[in-house]
């Protein structure tokens, strides 16, 4: 039987970056085949940070366009925006009433994000974020949740909450499993290769954006920090910069890392970086073009999202009704 897949991504940047793609979105595309996939642009989660209305609107649309351009097919999977399906808020509240304050307080993403802005500026919504995420997943009775390594703890919490609910109130939720790529999932900043590629930390020069021009991305790769020595060899401890570039090349070209080490044996870092730039730029060129084309017809794009939301709501409303009934709420 086809497995139900659910994942979500925040519309918090003008463009997704290569880490988002290789760590998460590439798997989304693969998992559409033979599964029943639901992919959600989690705009309500994006409200837990700084809110700029004009920018948020633009980013939600840009996210949708990029997902489609990267290969998420609105026919094969259900692609929708979280705020279009109000069941997310309904089940989110239930999850907040199931979760303990202590376990929510142990979430490292909350600790990291609240520490960055200073504890006083963190919103309550940032604290309750993982319970809304649990609702995103449980609403669709998902078997698998493809995410990057950094989301492991949120998936564990979701499983705990679902199990607790089922035990206390009767079988209601499928217990989901994380679907986390073992290797190659983590992409690092080109300038600071010990930090993960991320739009919120590090330098703009260290992040490869899907919607950036081919010239800009080529330049970033050619100016990537490399390491002492001159050998193109995978060694994350002593050669984090070169290892990161090997990971990127391998993920996009499909060549094994050992193959690449042989191919570039005896060549300098400059030649290697030129080759990586070529692979990245040619991979992203058609994707960027398609995304920009989709963004030119906003009405059509929003219509695609509304169709997705209708499909999502059909499943989500059943789960909410079932959980309300099991909780003793009068329907
Ligand atoms: P974010 O927008 O940072 O919340 O990330 C969206 C998705 O991309 C999540 O599933 C992350 O785990 C994944 N992700 C973000 N940055 C990276 C990275 N540098 N390497 C691998 N995966 C990443
Ligand atoms: N918290 C996830 C992230 O930062 C985004 C997210 C929200 C999500 N809801 C989800 C991921 C549901 C998977 C499933 O990447």
Q: Which long-range contacts (CB under 8 A, 24 or more apart) does 326-329 make?
A: 326/169, 326/170, 326/172, 327/94, 327/169
Q: At 5, which helix (H) or strand (E)?
A: strand 4-9
pLDDT score at 185: 60
Q: Strands of 4-9's sheet, edge to edge?
A: 78-81, 36-41, 4-9, 144-146, 177-179
Distance 148 CA to ligand 1 centre (A): 6
Mean pLDDT, range 128-151, rounded to an integer: 95
Nearest atom within ligand 2 for CA of residue 148: 15
Q: CA-CA distance, 142 to 315, in Å (whole number)? A: 11
26, 196, 220, 239: which one is catalytic?
Answer: 196
Q: Which pLDDT score, from 0 to 100, does residue 1 have?
A: 79
Residues 6+ apart with CB under 8 A from 127: 104, 105, 110, 114
Active site residue 76: no
91's tokens: 């089940």
| Identified catalytic residue from 26, 113, 220, 239 | 113
CA distances from 320 to 86, 311, 329 (A): 10, 15, 11
Measuring from atom 2 of ligand 1, which residue has the nearest CA?
10
Alpha carbons 34 and 18: distance in angstroms, whole number: 25
Q: How confident is the model at residue 194 (pLDDT cuts 50, 70, 90)?
A: very high
Q: In the numeric block, which tokens belong to residue 194?
A: 């010990």
Measured from CB, residues less than 6 Å from any atom of ligand 2 are 6-10, 42, 45, 133, 136-137, 145, 147, 151, 154
Ligand 1 atom closest to Cα of residue 20? 8
Lowest mean pLDDT among 154-168, 189-203, 205-219, 298-312: 189-203
Angle at 81 between CA 80 and CA 84, to 5 degrees: 105
Any atom of ligand 1 within 6 Å of the Cβ of 178: no
Q: Which of 58, 186, 199, 311 is catalytic?
A: 199
User: For residue 256, is pLDDT > 60?
Assistant: yes
User: How far apart, in whole angstroms, are the C-alpha atoms of residue 165 and residue 169?
Assistant: 6
| pLDDT for 173 beyond 60 | yes
Over the Cα atoms of the chain, what is R_g?
A: 21
DSSP 33-59: TTSEEEEEE-HHHHTTS---HHHHHHH
Catalytic residue status for 182: no
| Sign of the CA dihedral running 61, 63, 64, 66 | positive
Say whether 274 sits in a helix, a strand or coil. Answer: helix
Please give the model's pTM, rounded to 2 decimal places: 0.93
Q: What is the DSSP letter of 102?
A: H
Pick the range with the lowest mean pLDDT from 146-150, 206-210, 211-215: 146-150
Nearest Cα to 226, choosing from 239, 211, 215, 235?
239
151 lines ligand 1 (CB under 6 A): yes
Three-state DSSP at 80 gives strand
Residue 42 beta carbon below 6 angstroms from any ligand 1 atom: no
Beta strand 144-146 with 78-81 is: unpaired
Structure confidence by residue, pLDDT tens digits, 53-90: 999 999 999 999 999 999 999 999 999 999 999 999 99
- pLDDT of amino acid 181: 65
Q: Exposure string (b/e) for 168-200, b if CB count within 10 Å is 16 or more?
A: ebeebbbebebbbbeeebbbbbbbbbeebbbbe
**Catalytic-residue membership of 196:** yes
């Amino acid at each position: 039987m086809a497995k139900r897949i659910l994942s979500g991504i925040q519309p918090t940047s003008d463009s997704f970056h290569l880490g988002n793609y290789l760590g998460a979105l590439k798997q989304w595309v693969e998992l559409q085949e033979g599964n029943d996939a639901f992919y959600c642009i989690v705009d309500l989660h994006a409200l837990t940070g700084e809110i700029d209305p004009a920018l948020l609107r633009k980013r939600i649309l840009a996210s949708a366009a990029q997902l489609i351009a990267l290969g998420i097919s609105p026919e094969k999977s259900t692609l929708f925006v979280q705020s279009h399906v109000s069941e997310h808020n309904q089940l989110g509240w239930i999850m907040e009433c199931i979760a303990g304050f202590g376990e929510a307080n142990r979430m490292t993403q909350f600790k990291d994000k609240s520490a960055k802005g200073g504890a006083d500026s963190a919103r309550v919504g940032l604290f309750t974020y993982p319970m809304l995420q649990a609702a995103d997943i449980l609403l669709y009775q998902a078997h698998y949740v493809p995410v990057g390594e950094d989301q492991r703890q949120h998936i564990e919490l979701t499983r705990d909450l679902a199990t607790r609910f089922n035990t206390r109130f009767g079988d209601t939720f499928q217990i989901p499993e994380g679907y986390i790529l073992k290797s190659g999932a983590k992409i690092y900043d080109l300038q600071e290769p010990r930090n993960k590629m991320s739009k919120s930390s590090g330098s703009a020069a260290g992040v490869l954006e899907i919607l950036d021009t081919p010239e800009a991305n080529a330049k970033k790769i050619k100016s990537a920090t490399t390491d002492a020595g001159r050998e193109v060899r995978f060694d994350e401890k002593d050669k984090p910069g070169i290892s990161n570039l090997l990971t990127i090349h391998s993920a996009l070209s499909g060549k094994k890392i050992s193959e690449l080490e042989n191919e570039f044996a005896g060549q300098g870092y400059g030649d290697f970086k030129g080759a990586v730039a070529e692979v990245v730029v040619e991979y992203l060129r058609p994707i960027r073009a398609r995304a920009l084309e989709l963004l030119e017809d906003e009405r059509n794009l929003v219509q695609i999202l509304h169709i997705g939301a209708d499909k999502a709501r059909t499943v989500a409303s059943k789960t909410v009704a079932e959980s309300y009934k099991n909780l003793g709420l009068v329907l």
